Amino acid sequence: MPSAFDVPMEQELHSKLKIQDTASDAGGVQRSKSFAFRAPQESFSIQDFELGKLYGVGSYSKVVRARKKDTGAIYALKIMDKKFITKENKTAYVKLERIVLDQLDHPGIVRLFFTFQDTFSLYMALESCEGGELFDQITRKGQLSENDARFYAAEVVDALEYIHGMGLIHRDIKPENLLFTADGHIKIADFGSVKPTHDSKITVLPNASASDDKACTFVGTAAYVPPEVLNSSPATIGNDLWALGCTLYQMLSGTSPFKDASEWLIFQRIIARDLKFPDYFSDEARDLIDKLLDVDPSRRPGAGADGYASLKSHAFFAGVNWQDLRNQTPPKLVPVSGSQSPEGEYERDVWNPSHIGDGFTSPADVNGGSTSSSESPGHITRIASIDSFDSKWQQFLEPGESVIMISNVKKIRRLANKKVQLILTNKPKLIYVDPSKLMLQGDITWSDDPSELSVQVVSPSHFKIHTPKKVVSFEDAKQRATQWKKAVETLQNRLK
C-alpha cells in the first residue's frame, strides 16, 4: 500500500487547485476542490534557516525559533515528522491545521506565513510571539492581578469570538497555547486539534477534515477538558468556553482549578465538578468562572442564543473597550531571569540542524501540565496513568481494562529490595510486575473497604499497602506516596 506521503502533502493539495467546483458534506462543511493558499508552499530547505531555542514539543512536532538567513525574518518554525504522522493516521489533522491557519485573519491569532518540506519533515513558518507563553507569565508572577487577568481574558474572548464565528472549535485552549507578542498582546496558537462545525465558514479540501466525534478517544489537555467531552459528547464551542474558565482561574490563582496528581484524578474532579474558589477572588471573577464552568455547555456565557453579548457584558469585564483592545497598552511582561538576547540564542547553537530534516527523529509524546507544548492534537485516554503507559505492560491487562496509575518502584523486603512495576487498574486491580523478566510477581487483593485495603504514607517516597493478610512496602523515587494513597482511595469511593 503506498504511503500517504508518496506524493508530497502540499503537492497533493496544489494539484487540486485547477478544479473549480465546490461541494458541502453531509454536515454542511464547505469542502472545496479549489482555492489559492494565502501562505504559499516554498521550495526552501531547512539549511536556509538559523535555528534558535526550542519553543515546545508535541506528539509529532517540535516548534523552534528560526531566522531566515537571507532576510533576517524571525519565525516560529513548526517541524512535523512525516513518518509519525502517517503511522498514527494524523494526516487529516495536519492538512486541516494548515488550511485553517491559512484562512484565519485576526490580530489575536498566530499567522501562517509559508510552508515547505523535505524527505522526512513538514514545516510551517508561523508568527513568532517573542513574549512567550501566558503559562510562563503566570509561573513567574505566581498569579496575575485581576486587572491583568481581565485584559488578557478579554483579548482571548475577542479572538475566540472570531474563531467561533468562523464555525471552528479550537479544543485546546490553555495558558501554554496563549502566546504574547513582544509588546504583550495575546495571540491564540496551536490549531492542531481544531474542529469545523456544521456551519463552518472555512473552506476545507476533500479528506482534510479530521472527524472524531464518534471516536472512543478525545483531544485536549486533561486539566482543561470539560465534563461533556469525558462523556463522549460531540464537540461544541462550549468546550472552549469551559477551557477559558479554567484559564482565567489559573491566571488569578496560579494553578488550574481541577489540578491533581494524575490525569485520572483530574478527570474525577472534573466529573464531580469539585471546584473551590480562593477567598481573594472578587465576586465578579468568581461568578464568571462559575458560569463558564457550568456542567451544561449551552448555559456557558458565549454559547447561548445571545452569543458573545452575555460574556462580554459580564460584570467582570466592566470598563473593557472591546472595539479598541489591540490598541491599548497591555500589562508589562516579566522577562525570563538571566535570559540572553535572541541573537545570543543562535550563537549558543542550542538547536543542531542535524536534529531535523533527514536526521529528524520522532519526539516523545508530551501532554499537558507544566510542560510546554505548542501542538497537542494527540488523544488522551479516558483513564490515564501518571506516567506514560508503555505497551509492554498491556499483556497484564484484560480487554477493556485501563491503567489508573503506574510507577517503577522498589518493593521493600527484609533481605533485599527488588525493583517492580506497580500497576493500579480500573478493574480494580493492584499488581506488581518484574520489569526485566516481564513476569507477574504478585497481586494485592482489592477491596472497596478501606479497613481491608488501605495505603499508609510513611514518607514522600515510602508507602505501605495494608490488607488483612499482608502488608507490602514500596519506595517511589519520584516521591508519589501521597498520590498512590489518593488514587486508591478515590477508586474505592468511586466504586462504592
> Mean of the per-residue pLDDT values for the chain?
82
Instruction: Determine which helix (DSSP H) or strand (DSSP E) holds 410, and give its type and residue range.
Output: strand 403-412
The pLDDT tens digits of the residues spanning 222-260 come to 899 999 998 888 999 999 999 999 999 999 999 999 998
Instruction: Determine which helix (DSSP H) or strand (DSSP E) holds 489, and give its type and residue range.
Output: helix 481-495
- Span 25-45, mean pLDDT? 69
Q: CB neighbours (10 Å) of residue 198?
A: 11
State the pLDDT confidence band at 158, using cuts at 50, 70 and 90: very high
pLDDT of residue 218: 56
Q: Is 36 exposed, middle or buried (0-12, 13-18, 19+ CB in 10 A)?
A: exposed
- Span 380-392, mean pLDDT? 42
State the pLDDT confidence band at 402, using cuts at 50, 70 and 90: confident
Residue 440 confidence (pLDDT) above 70? yes
Is-cis flag, bond preceding 331, omega within 30? no
Map grid coordinates 478544479 to a residue.
19
Distance of CA 392 to the CA centre of its chain: 25
- The C-alpha cell of 408 is what? 517503577
Do the beta carbons of residue 83 and residue 42 sit within 8 Å? no
Q: For this structure, is 448 an active site residue?
A: no
Q: How far is CA 410 from CA 73, 184, 425, in A?
A: 52, 48, 19
Rounded Cα–Cα distance for residues 314 and 287 (Å): 9
Do the beta carbons of residue 383 and residue 179 sit within 8 Å? no
Determine which one of 81, 172, 260, 294 is catalytic: 172
pLDDT of residue 413: 86
Percent of the chain with pLDDT over 70: 79
pLDDT, greater one: 55 or 300: 300
Instruction: Please give the radius of gyration of the chain, using alpha carbons only, rounded to the nearest integer.
Output: 24
pLDDT, greater one: 60 or 121: 121
The pLDDT tens digits of the residues spanning 164-212 come to 999 999 999 999 999 999 999 999 999 999 999 988 998 876 555 555 5
Q: Give the DSSP per-residue string, 113-129.
A: EEEEE-SSEEEEEEE--
Residue 316 confidence (pLDDT) above 50? yes
Residue type, position 368, single letter: G
Structural domains in the chain? 39-126 (3.30.200.20), 132-200+221-327 (1.10.510.10), 394-495 (2.30.29.30)
